[in-house]
């Protein structure tokens, strides 16, 4: 009898924990934002298994980029409302990194393996492959911690591959 009560208590506790999980609410809001953006912009591609929408605007040449390859890219990062949070368009050199590096968000590596040298694409990334539930914060010049990218925020990147060095 005691084991049945313990099992019932555990089941009730599990239901309460799931019902009180605020992350589900934020995940649903994010999914809704993405679907609204896709509909409003007449995007016809389907998301991949990671929820990434890859919209190629210029086809590249050669073989697909592989994990471990080094790339140089020009990029612009924006929120779905169009507000830009980062870019390197006016930099002297492209942003260079190794695909699959732990120093970049997963969404970049998952996207770049779909691209070739010279490819350009618009990419919608859900937060689970970008900055997750935490987002990005940084201290400003006055020592105040500011939110740059809120948690559960889907992002839009425009990416152009301009350098490729094979592993």
120 lies in a domain?
Answer: yes
Residue 93, domain extent:
45-165
The total domain count for the chain is: 1
Q: pLDDT digit string (tens) for 21-73? A: 667 888 899 999 999 999 999 999 999 999 999 999 999 999 999 999 999 99
Residue 35 lies in a domain: no
Domain assignment present for 161: yes
92 found inside a domain: yes
Element (H, E) at 77: strand 70-79
Q: 84 lies in a domain?
A: yes
Name residue 149's beta-bridge partners.
Answer: 136
pTM equals 0.83
Whole-angstrom distance, CA of residue 36 vs CA of residue 43: 10
> Does residue 11 lie within any of the structural domains?
no
Asked if residue 150 belongs to a domain, the reply is yes
pLDDT in tens, 89-101: 999 999 999 999 9
Q: What percent of the chain has pLDDT over 90?
A: 83
Q: The CATH number of the domain where 131 resides is what?
A: 3.10.50.40
Q: What is the mean pLDDT of residues 143-163?
A: 96
């Amino acid at each position: 009898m005691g084991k049945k009560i313990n099992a019932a208590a555990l089941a009730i506790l599990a239901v309460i924990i799931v019902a009180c999980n605020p992350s589900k609410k934020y995940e649903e809001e994010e999914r809704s934002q993405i679907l609204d953006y896709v509909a409003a912009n007449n995007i016809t591609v389907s998301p991949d298994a990671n929820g990434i929408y890859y919209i190629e605007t210029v086809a590249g040449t050669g073989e697909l980029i592989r994990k471990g390859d080094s790339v140089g890219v020009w990029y612009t990062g924006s929120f779905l409302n169009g507000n830009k949070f980062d870019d390197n368009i006016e930099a002297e050199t492209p942003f260079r990194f190794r695909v699959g590096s732990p120093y970049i968000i997963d969404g970049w590596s998952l996207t770049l393996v779909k691209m070739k040298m010279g490819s350009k694409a618009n990419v919608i990334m859900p937060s689970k492959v970008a900055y997750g539930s935490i987002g990005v914060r940084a201290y400003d010049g006055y020592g105040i911690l500011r939110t740059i990218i809120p948690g559960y925020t889907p992002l839009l990147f425009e990416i152009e591959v301009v350098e490729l060095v094979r592993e």
